[in-house]
Amino acid sequence: MERSPVRDFIVGLFVLAGLAAIAWLSFSVGGFSFHGRGGLKLLADFNETGDLKVRAPVVIAGVRVGEVTGLSLDKDFRALVEMNVDPDLKLPTDTQASIVTAGVLGDRYISLQPGGEDQLLKTGDKITYTESAISLERLIGQLVYGSTKSDRKDAPTTTTKNTKSPGLE
């Protein structure tokens, strides 16, 4: 069988197409995204992040508008979440950020609910209205042991004075 330059060229194109498909697949599965023009960088403080991860989605009304770019502790030992959202968004300063779960045991993501203020958030601003993640373990613990100290059977009891009115028995 003779070597054919046309056949070799076609085989080479198929090999390059296969390599390009593998590269695209590895980038898309790995969550890599190209942030061409950058975005609106916002910060938010939370008491509990509940296993929120970097690259978790940031959504408004179910539509992905950004992602979490960083998690750290601030000086008050609260979780500081850094987000990068679409720069075309015009978010009011009273926007609320909540950490919610996709399904019962799904991944955590941030849901933004825009407010009604006229002033808009700028890059580097902090979202002041936040709602932390709900911990399933903490909820079960409250259900089992009671939500307050006085509901627990092993809580210390206090004695109170009898404050009945005379003649009312």
Confidence of residue 162 (pLDDT cuts 50, 70, 90): very low
pLDDT of 159 above 50: no
Q: Contact, 115 vs 95, CB < 8 A?
A: yes
* Residues contacting residue 119 through CB under 8 Å, at least 6 positions apart: 92, 93
pLDDT of 103 above 60: yes
Quote the strand ranges of the chain, DSSP E: 40-46, 57-60, 63-73, 79-85, 96-101, 108-113, 126-127, 129-131
Cα end-to-end span (Å), the chain: 114
| 51 domain residue, yes or no | yes
pLDDT of 10 above 90: yes
Q: Of 91, 84, 48, give the one whose Cα is nearest residue 69.
A: 84
Instruction: Read off φ and ψ for residue 52, nearest 5 degrees.
Output: -70, 140
Dist CA 80 CA 166 (whole Å): 58
Looking at the structure of the chain, the number of domains it has is: 1
Dist CA 118 CA 95 (whole Å): 11
| 131 domain residue, yes or no | yes
Domain range for 110: 40-147
Of the two residues 60 and 146, the one the predictor is more confident about is 60
pLDDT of 129 above 60: yes
pLDDT of 45 above 90: yes
pTM of the model: 0.64
Q: Of 81, 97, 93, give the one whose Cα is nearest residue 125.
A: 93
Q: Contact, 96 vs 132, CB < 8 A?
A: no
| 167 domain residue, yes or no | no
Confidence of residue 144 (pLDDT cuts 50, 70, 90): confident
pLDDT of 153 above 60: no
| 75 domain residue, yes or no | yes
| 98 domain residue, yes or no | yes
Can you tell me the mean pLDDT for 26-50? 77
| 96 domain residue, yes or no | yes
* Residues contacting residue 57 through CB under 8 Å, at least 6 positions apart: 64, 66, 67, 68, 109, 110
Q: What pLDDT score was predicted for residue 38?
A: 67
| 57 domain residue, yes or no | yes
DSSP 94-124: T-EEEEEESSSS--EEEEEE----SSB--TT
Q: What pLDDT score was predicted for residue 149?
A: 53
Of the two residues 24 and 137, the one the predictor is more confident about is 24
Can you tell me the mean pLDDT for 19-37? 75
Where residue 3 falls (left for φ over 0; alpha for ψ -120 to 50; beta otherwise) is beta
| 127 domain residue, yes or no | yes
Can you tell me the mean pLDDT for 10-35? 84
pLDDT of 19 above 90: yes
Mean pLDDT of the chain: 82
Q: What pLDDT score was predicted for residue 21?
A: 94
